[in-house]
Amino acid sequence: MSIRGGFMMRLQGPEEEERVRISDLNRQALRMLWQYLGRHKARLLLALAATLVVTATTLAMPYLMAVAVDTYIAESDLQGLALLSLLYVALNGIYWFAIYRQGYLSAWVGQHVVYDMRRDLFDHVQRQSVSFYDRERVGGIMSRLTHDVNAVSEIASSGALNLLNDVVSLVGIITIMALLSPRLTLVTMVAVPVVIISIGYLGKQMRSAYREVQQAIADVNTGVEQGMAGMRVAQSLSQESFTVEQFESLSLRNMKANLRAGLLFAAVFPTMTVTNTLGMVLVLGYGGNLVNQGVLTIGVLLGFLGYVNRFFGPLRELGLVYNSFEAAAASLDRIADYMGREPDINDPADPQRPEGGFSGELAFEQVTFGYDEAPILHDLDLHVRAGETIALVGTTGAGKSTIAKLLSRLYDPWEGSVKIDDVDIRRIALSDLRGLVTLVSQDVFLFADSIRENIRFGDPEATDVEVEEAARRAQAHGFIEKLPQGYDSQVGELGAMLSGGQRQLVAFARALLADPRVLILDEATANVDPYTEDLIQKAMDEIRQDRTTVIIAHRFSTLRKADRIVVVEGGRIAAMGTHEELIDRDPIYQRLYQRQWLAQDNEPTS
């Protein structure tokens, strides 16, 4: 026996565990959908009222036909027939108005549910920890936010109401048919088991098929995203044909999954047509015999045939609604799966803040951490004074960037603590921490917007004057004003219209506008030309003022900016001190200097 989540469960095989997981997801998905529908209860009730009016008028029309034949036509009562005809027209008018209101209200509810769900899902995904994005593919996330949410639209709008309409119609039709002729009603029911068995089987297959469709679409989205992002690499290596082949494989899988779902969906109509025909033939044959025997009137038979036709109509619609439910259920399961995932990094229940505010003093105390099972940092201790600039150096994989990520609380340590001004960052509100610590990476991300808006992202409330002042301090104003549209120039997808150095300067301007107490510069001067490096060095001098700065150094010119150099090796602090101190006594630093920085040491400083 094993105990999980407070429930005792018998250990099952993989298939049984998957079935239980899917069943739990289904219930969670339905609860989630009901909660979203409940937000628009008033309009949903109005749509329900319109649906009931539609059902009532639909049920009344065949009965009026029977009355017209047996009561007025048979007795040549033209006046009564005229009045009944007017009533029939009036009912049709009510029917058309009610069905219009039902359609509008259900569409309104459906679109608002989709809007709310997509907004909440996006917000939930945005609050996920970095580890979530390590596991999930961008295409899969996009698929849930777009295709899966859209698939819910039909069931959230007309699906539920149509289901109710069909069920109420069936109950009403069966009741009226039983009152008109119990014998013919029993004959009609002969075809019902065929419908139930066939729809049940098709529904089970369709749920599986639609899951494959949703996954295939997610894979296609991933293929598109990776293909576009890696286009330059593919072209530089002349591997366009390989990339196309990979995408064709994903598209082929998507096509096969959709064909299977389409084949199952296509089987619904012939099945319903056969059962409809079977029911009509049985009623017409047996009912005609009853008319010949004088047991049944022609009007009742005509009315009954009208109800039989309407009886199989809701059954057919139930098949279509069931198909929509299966498609939406597969998407709801995928959405509920995401919505049920809690972030690894959460806001503290009782956030703390120093009385005088944060000054930027940093401390790593006995920190152990790794991304998988093997730790990268081992019992790491490090203290940084407020306003101090330190440079982290070490070989690749030593743990420098991991230190930066823990300080930004992109991850939490396995053991030990990371503190700012003697407050564990796990006890600092995330909104405070994000404003307190800013990470500027070598791989700068820019939004496909103007330079002005990319800088303003550091402080959405900043004025144009403040944006330009930040750009000046970051040494970015010079190249920006030379662009055809200046600050309104578009940077392109991922900043493709700018050089690497220009993107770095824009990122510095953005960080200046954010004005953090703690700044982390991760390989900020890597892979740039000497002129751009000179600008970046000047920008770093500006951006470091009056704040604690942690630099992951790549160039020797960057090391010169640091008050202290910290050597990281094997996930531990191996040594620390000035350049002169370390070059005299630390063999690790000596090797790094000989391999990476000796040639740069003689370059003139700016």
Backbone φ and ψ of 372, nearest 5°: -115, -145
Q: What is the pLDDT of residues 349-389, one digit of tens each?
A: 888 888 878 888 999 999 999 887 788 999 999 999 998 99
What is the structure's pLDDT at 419?
A: 92
**Angstrom distances, CA of residue 63 to CA of 81, 167, 539:** 14, 19, 85
What is the structure's pLDDT at 55?
A: 80
DSSP H or E run through 42: helix 41-67
Closest-CA residue to 261 (of 221, 297, 212): 212
Angle at which helices 78-126 and 14-38 cross, to 10°? 110
Q: What is the pLDDT of residues 184-197, one digit of tens each?
A: 888 877 777 776 67
Count the helices and strands in the chain (H runs, E runs): 24, 12
- Residue 572 pairs with which residues in a beta bridge? 569
Radius of gyration from C-alpha coordinates of the chain = 35
Place of tokens 């219009």: 100
Q: Report the C-alpha gap between 590 and 579 in whole angstroms.
A: 10
Closest-CA residue to 160 (of 22, 69, 8, 41): 41
What is the structure's pLDDT at 224?
A: 62
Q: Report the C-alpha gap between 500 and 521 in whole angstroms.
A: 15
DSSP H or E run through 386: none
Place of tokens 């149509």: 162
Q: Please list the alpha-helical segments (H only) found in 267-297.
A: 268-292
Domain coordinates of the chain in residue numbers? 26-207+266-339, 362-601
What is the structure's pLDDT at 285?
A: 80
Backbone φ and ψ of 73, nearest 5°: -70, -45
Pairing of strands 437-441, 423-424: unpaired
Amino acid at 325: F
Q: What is the pLDDT of residues 533-549, one digit of tens each?
A: 777 777 777 777 888 98
Instruction: Determine what percent of the chain is predicted with pLDDT higher than 70.
Output: 76
What is the structure's pLDDT at 16?
A: 45
- Residue 367 pairs with which residues in a beta bridge? 380
What is the structure's pLDDT at 408?
A: 87
What is the structure's pLDDT at 385?
A: 92
Classify residue 568 as exposed, middle or buried by CB count within 10 Å of its CB (0-12, 13-18, 19+). Answer: buried
Pairing of strands 2-4, 377-384: unpaired
Backbone φ and ψ of 98, nearest 5°: -65, -40
Pairing of strands 564-569, 415-420: unpaired
Which pair of tokens denotes residue 77?
Answer: 């009562």
Question: How many CB atoms lie under 10 A from the CB of residue 332?
Answer: 26
Q: Report the C-alpha gap between 301 and 285 in whole angstroms.
A: 11
Task: Provide the CB-side half-sphere exposure for 390 (13 A, CA).
Answer: 25
Which pair of tokens denotes residue 508?
Answer: 């510095």
Q: What fold does the segment set 26-207+266-339 form as a domain?
A: ABC transporter transmembrane region fold (1.20.1560)
What is the structure's pLDDT at 256?
A: 75
Amino acid at 600: Q
pTM metric for this prediction: 0.63
User: With contact defined as beta carbons under 8 Å apart, do 71 and 77 qualify?
Assistant: yes
Provide the 3-class DSSP secondary structure of residue 40. coil
Q: Report the C-alpha gap between 240 and 231 in whole angstroms.
A: 8
Measured at the alpha carbon of residue 292, what is the angle toward residues 288 and 295, in degrees to the nearest 5? 90
Give residues with Cβ within 8 angstroms of 196, minimum separation 6: none
Q: What is the distance, to the nearest Å, from the Cα of residue 361 to the centroid of all Cα atoms in its chain?
A: 38
Q: What is the distance, to the nearest Å, from the Cα of residue 383 to the centroid of all Cα atoms in its chain?
A: 40
Q: Report the C-alpha gap between 400 and 552 in whole angstroms.
A: 7
What DSSP line would sit under 322-385, residue for residue? Answer: HHHHHHHHHHHHHHHHHHTPPPSS---SS----TT-----EEEEEEEE-SSSS-SEEEEEEEE-
User: With contact defined as beta carbons under 8 Å apart, do 325 and 159 qualify?
Assistant: yes
Q: Report the C-alpha gap between 293 and 288 in whole angstroms.
A: 9
What is the structure's pLDDT at 367?
A: 92
What is the structure's pLDDT at 28?
A: 67
Provide the 3-class DSSP secondary structure of residue 548. strand
User: With contact defined as beta carbons under 8 Å apart, do 191 and 279 qualify?
Assistant: yes
Amino acid at 183: R
User: With contact defined as beta carbons under 8 Å apart, do 420 and 396 qualify?
Assistant: no
User: With contact defined as beta carbons under 8 Å apart, do 309 and 59 qualify?
Assistant: no
* Architecture field, domain 362-601: 3-Layer(aba) Sandwich (3.40)
Which pair of tokens denotes residue 398?
Answer: 């030593």
Residue ranges, the chain, pLDDT below 50: 1-22, 25, 235-238, 604-606
Give residues with Cβ within 8 angstroms of 433, minimum separation 6: 409, 420, 425
What is the structure's pLDDT at 383?
A: 94
